[in-house]
Structure 1
Amino acid sequence: MPLLEQIKDAGIVGCGGAGFPAHVKLNCTVEHLIINAAECEPLLRTDRWLMIHKAAEIITAVEMMAEMVKASHIHIALKETYRQEIQALESAIAERSSPVRLFQMKNFYPAGDEQIMVCDVTGRTVPPSGIPLDVGAVVSNLATAYSIYQASQGEPFTSKYLTVTGAVTSPCIVHAPLGTSFAECLKAAGGPAAAGCHVIAGGPLMGKCYSMQEAEKLVVTKTTSGFILVPDDAPLVLNHQIPVNVSLKRAKMSCIQCTYCTQMCPRYLTGHPLKPHMIMRKLAYAQSPEDILDDIHVKNAMICSECGLCETYACPMGLKPRQVNIYLKGLLRQKGFRYEKPLAAFRQLEERSYRRVPSRRIAARLGVDAYYDYHIEECQELMPEVVHIPLQQHIGAPSIPAVAAGDKVVAGQLIGSIPEKALGANIHASICGRVRSVSNSEIIICAE
């Protein structure tokens, strides 16, 4: 069976982002195949663990992927500080006399952003509202590559490696069946190390913030990169709690037009026409946000990557340009606006090389630097009694249930299929057991 069909059958989606179905993304011919191993967000350690412990499998998978997309340049992009990981990958490359090469990046945020990585590796700027394919590249997450290796061996995507760290007793990597509860993952890490915590699902900058009570409903999905516990009074948590209407008022009253948000914006530095300070200026003189939606600078909010560097690091007034951009993007979508990809070529700015923010400094601003140097080596294998498997763990249409309540299933069995003529991904049982219930949103399986 061709590798692309194996990827589709296995239900593989992008592990490092929104979960775009891999069989669609990799159905292309490109010059550059780039494997994203830079683990963009501070504190996450999953990809680093995989590089050390699964190096041979990863290099094998990357070679297969490169042959499939006919790439002539094959790179695994990772941070130059990943010494042990580099050594493991170089050993696997040498053993196979592999054409795969390592591209060592500086340790800055957001090094793992797909478009930033393409700019660094190829020197080409992905156009605003474009994708790497527009400049002859395709980017795949390292964990996705490992899942593709498993698919080539006949193993569907049924489990996820993720980081559980922060204010926990024993930070660790967890290998969990899809649908495993957050509570099970937290237990594997020894539970909270302090009273009064919030949970970040994902990285500290772009992840979602939950109270412990809200986090009880979280389960491991194909796109879960980690769970981070942080104290209730951490700046990271307090920033999440500021309502958007407050941010809008502060923007109108307090923006001093220093332009730092624009000067440090990763998208602006790659050559995109995004200027957050101009958006803040327009907002300051408007009666309401709805009055400025036709302005070209405001429309450029649509190309904001929402990395959060502007509000976490750049703004001296503590304002939230990212939150403003997200709000304006919502208004523009409601109005039916679609950002048209420009035909002109774009080039990165010369100053980009010296406007890179170290990841540790970002962690300090967020109040999570105490967890930055955790060396996580242990991997906990979880065997939950019950899994709640969502039918939508990917971009596209939800999967259609292929089982009914009462059915007996085995791990790896297809339980959700791609709707006909729709973008989607197959879903498989992550444990052996019996289906307890099937709804429009999830399938619950109990071990027997």
Structure 2
Amino acid sequence: MSLLDLVKDAGIIGAGGAGFPTHAKLASKAEYILMNGAECEPLLRVDQQLMILFPDEIIKGFAEAGRLVEAKKAIIGIKGKHKEVVSTLRERISALQLGDYVEVKELADMYPAGDEQVLVYELTGRVVPEAGIPIQVGCVVVNSETALNIYNASLGKAVTEKYITVAGDIPNRLTIKVPVGTPVIDVLKLSGIENFDDYTVIDGGPMMGPVMSSLDGYVTKKNKGFVILKKQHYLIRKKSMKMDQTKRINRASCEQCRMCTDLCPRYLLGHNMQPHKMMRTLNYTLADTEEQKISYLCCQCNLCELFSCPAGLYPKAANQYIKQKLMEQNLRYQPVQKEYSPRKSREHRLLPSKRLVARLGLRDFDKPAPMTEIGLNSEQVSIATSQHVGAPAVPVVSVGDHVQAGQLIGKIPENSLGAAIHASIAGTVVECGNGFVTIRRD
């Protein structure tokens, strides 16, 4: 069986948060394959630890994926501040005799170094076109945990476990491996907190992760971390603002200073993303939909809203609102430019991560979250049939069936983009429907 088929059968998706099926990405041919080890979201610690714990597996999986897409070079991007990780990877690349193919490039400690298009530019000097994807400039990008999963797939092992950082204003900061489908609340309680009445949880990093409205969910292959903060924390209050509230605040206070645009990562790459114009449109109810279409170029990094705006306004929310209105009218952005180059001011406007952490009020919580071996044996797991980009998996098991860990429980629908799902524990299927396959542990 080919590596591509093994990756497809293993149900691998982007582990960095996007959830795009990896087999579809690796079906392309590229000049470069890039590994995103930047992990630029504050407080998250998964990738940097995996590259220390499993360097050989990650390097081999990454190199195998590179040869699959016929890339002439495989480049690992990681922040230079992670000196031990950089040293370990370079040592193991040499020991594995892959130095002529796999290379480590150090990234500046800035946000958002892990944005896919920013990473492509930093590692290759190429700018992905507006509304485009890396393959348009000859690049395929995978996350470091995805590379580990590719290696495991080459050995016939499906994705049944997920590495997650639990961080924030908590007694115990840690990173842990848990079965896919584990109740989120079971993971959160490892923080040392039992009663969450006074806390709110961010699903993912503090910049791009949404506030969780309920803690009743289940771990998916996309989860990267949970940030737990007191309800009165600045970041929670900011992220909890409703759209109607943000519109009123924006209309009352925006003075068109254009700081949101001047620091926008996509604008600095040469794209036409200009958040201050979306604020202007919202404030003055401008009707030129052609100008509004640039809202599609937003990468949702949240820099404009959580750092750039000196008045603490909500440019990203304005952009989201306008984009939603355009989508309802089926109006899409059509790029005009053919070639792109970064703006001359870019190198002077990159945001140091430490400044961002301080602005977010997270300096006291920006501490190690060590990998911890804890046997988290939840009584049952609920594995979502839709935890990836594309069509939901079609269950191939029924209530009452006994399954083993790693067994296929959901397949990709015919002629569809999607990903397979597998049992993460041995047990009995007790529910199959409503978007989940629930297994009770033996």
Whichever residue aligns with residue 87 of structure 2, its letter is Q
C-alpha distance in 2, partners of 1:195/1:280?
A: 35
Larger mean Cα displacement after TM superposition, 247-256 or 377-386: 377-386
* 2:422 aligned residue: 428
- Asked if 1:389 corresponds to 2:388, the answer is no
Residue 155 (structure 2) pairs with residue 156 (structure 1): no
CA distance in 1 between partners of 2:309 and 2:187 (Å): 36
User: Structure 1: which 5+ residue stretches go unaligned?
Assistant: none
Q: Is the counterpart of residue 271 in structure 1 residue 277 in structure 2? A: no
- Say if 1:172 and 1:380, in contact at 8 Å, map to a contact too: no
* Residue 17 (structure 2) aligns with: 17
> In structure 1, what is the Cα distance between the partners aligned to 2:88 and 2:94?
10
Name 1:65's counterpart in structure 2: 65
Query: For 2:148, which of 130, 146, 153 is the aligned residue?
Result: 146
| Deviating 4+ runs (over 3 angstroms) | 192-195
Q: Distance in 2 between matches of 1:79 and 1:380?
A: 29
Are the structure 2 counterparts of residues 375 and 242 from structure 1 closer, same or farther at C-alpha, using a change threshold of 3 Å?
closer
**186 and 435 in structure 1: CA distance in 2 versus 1, 3 angstrom threshold:** same
Bigger drift between 239-248 and 48-57 goes to 239-248
Which residue of 2 is the match for residue 131 of structure 1?
Answer: 133
Whole-angstrom distance in 1 between the partners of 2:241 and 2:191? 30
Q: 1: CA distance between counterparts of 2:159 and 2:369?
A: 27
Equivalent positions of 1:4-83 (< 5 A) are 4-83=4-83
Q: CA deviation at 1:123?
A: 1.0
Offset, 1:265: 0.3
Name the aligned partner's letter for residue 225 of structure 1: K
Which residue of the other structure, out of 187, 208, 216, is the alignment partner of 1:206? 208
Report if the CA contact (8 A) 1:43-1:372 is conserved. yes
**Maintained 8 Å contact 1:360/1:372:** no
Shift of 1:192: 5.8
Single out whichever of 404-413 and 14-23 deviates more from structure 2. 14-23
Instruction: Sort the Cα spacing of 1:387 and 1:193 in 2 relative to 1 into closer, same or farther, 3 A.
Output: closer
Report the Cα offset of residue 193 of structure 1: 9.7
Give the corresponding residue for 2:251: 252
1:336 aligns with 2:330: yes
Specify the SS of the correspondent of 1:388: strand
Residue 359 of structure 1 deviates from its aligned partner by: 1.5
Q: 1:341 to 1:10 in 2, by over 3 A?
A: farther
Q: Distance in 1 between matches of 2:258 and 2:194?
A: 40
List per-residue Cα deviations over 1:207-263 (Å, max 9, x = no partner). 11125xx11x12110100011111111111001122211221222221111111110
Judge conservation of contact 2:293–2:332 (CA < 8 Å) in 1. Answer: no
Q: Structure 1, residues 62-98: CA drift from partner, whole Å, max 9, x if none?
A: 1101110111121110101111211221121111121
Q: Secondary structure at the match of 1:340?
A: coil
- Structure 2 counterparts to residues 160-179 of structure 1, below 5 A: 160-179=162-181
The 8 Å contact of residues 166 and 175 in structure 2, kept in 1 or not, is answered as yes
Deviations 1:12-61 (A, max 9, x none): 00111221100001111111110000002110000011011000101111
The number of equivalent residue pairs is 440
Q: Which amino acid aligns with 2:419?
A: A
**Separation in 2 of the partners of 1:45 and 1:379?**
15
Q: Write the mapping of 1:93-108 to structure 2, written as runs, cut at 5 A.
A: 93-98=93-98, 99-108=101-110
2:438 pairs with 435, 439, 444, which one? Answer: 444
Q: 2:289 aligns with which of 289, 294, 312?
A: 294
Is 1:402 the counterpart of 2:402 in the alignment? no
Deviation of residue 427 (structure 1)?
Answer: 0.4
Instruction: Compute the displacement of 1:140 (Å).
Output: 0.6
Query: In structure 1, how many angstroms separate the alpha carbons of the residues matched to 2:147 and 2:287?
Result: 43
Q: d(CA) in 1 for partners of 2:169 and 2:252? A: 36
Task: Structure 2 unaligned segments of length 5 or more: list them.
Answer: none
TM-score by length of 2: 0.96
> Which residue identity is paired with 2:207?
L
Query: How big is the shift at 1:440?
Result: 3.4
Provide the alpha-carbon RMSD of the alignment. Answer: 1.5
Shift of 1:362: 1.6
| Mean Cα deviation higher: 242-251 or 89-98 | 242-251
1:168–1:192 CA contact under 8 A, matched in 2: no
Match of 1:282, SS? helix
Q: Any idea what SS the aligned residue of 1:292 has?
A: coil
Structure 1 pair 444/401, CA: closer, same or farther in 2 (3 Å)? same
Say whether the 8 Å CA contact 2:75–2:105 is kept in structure 1: yes
Q: Which residue of 2 aligns with 1:371?
A: 365
* Partners of 2:425 and 2:369 in 1: CA distance: 30
TM-score, with normalisation over the residues of structure 1? 0.95
- Asked if the contact 2:404–2:427 (Cα under 8 Å) also holds between the matched residues in 1, the reply is yes
